[in-house]
Amino acid sequence: MYCFSYSVYWCIYITRNALLLAGFLLPMTNRESSSKRGYDSRWQKARAAYLRKHPLCIEHSKLSQVIKATVVDHIKPHRGDMLLFWDSSNWQSLCKHCHDSHKQRLEKTGQILGCDVAGLPIDNNHHWNLKR
């Protein structure tokens, strides 16, 4: 009895660690480095200049809140398209919170949650904001 439960425990332990290791290693092997994706020193300079010109989070501005932006976000995901990557009309300043929450949700579901001070959805693609 002891041997059986011990081996079951050992099997779960080994499987768990193999999954953790795979989860750790796969993103490293499948994803290009940030510099290969365009985020090099040229980007760091462009990003800093953009944040100096546009220092406030655009999503918080829609809520009439003044929050310092720390991320230059690509409005339309560039997905490796360098023309779109460097097109500053496709950039927006966001705080880290907005980038990590609103933006990630937008990329996953195509929707942004929340309303502005007038009670209207902040998502420009919400059907209330689309002209008929």
Tell me the site size for Zn ion, rule CB under 5 A: 6
CB of 67 to Zn ion, least distance (A): 5
| Candidate segments 14-22, 75-83, 90-98, 107-115, binder of Zn ion by CB under 5 A | 90-98
Of 38 and 70, which has the nearer Cβ to Zn ion? 70
- Which positions from 31 through 50 interact with Zn ion, judged by CB under 5 A? none
How far is the C-alpha of 72 from the C-alpha of 40, rounded, in Å?
14
How far is the C-alpha of 73 from the C-alpha of 58, rounded, in Å?
10
* Contact flag: residue 60 with Zn ion (CB under 5 A): yes
Of 56 and 84, which has the nearer Cβ to Zn ion? 56
* Contact flag: residue 98 with Zn ion (CB under 5 A): yes
CB of 124 to Zn ion, least distance (A): 16
Eight-state DSSP code of residue 101: I
- Which residues is 73 bridged to in the sheet? 92
* Contact flag: residue 57 with Zn ion (CB under 5 A): yes
Give the one residue of 95, 103, 112, 123 binding Zn ion; rule: CB under 5 A.
Answer: 95
Are the C-beta atoms of 81 and 42 separated by less than 8 Å?
no
From 98, 31, 43, 32, select the one nearest 70 (Cα to Cα): 98
Which residues of the chain form contacts with Zn ion (CB under 5 A)? 57, 59-60, 67, 95, 98
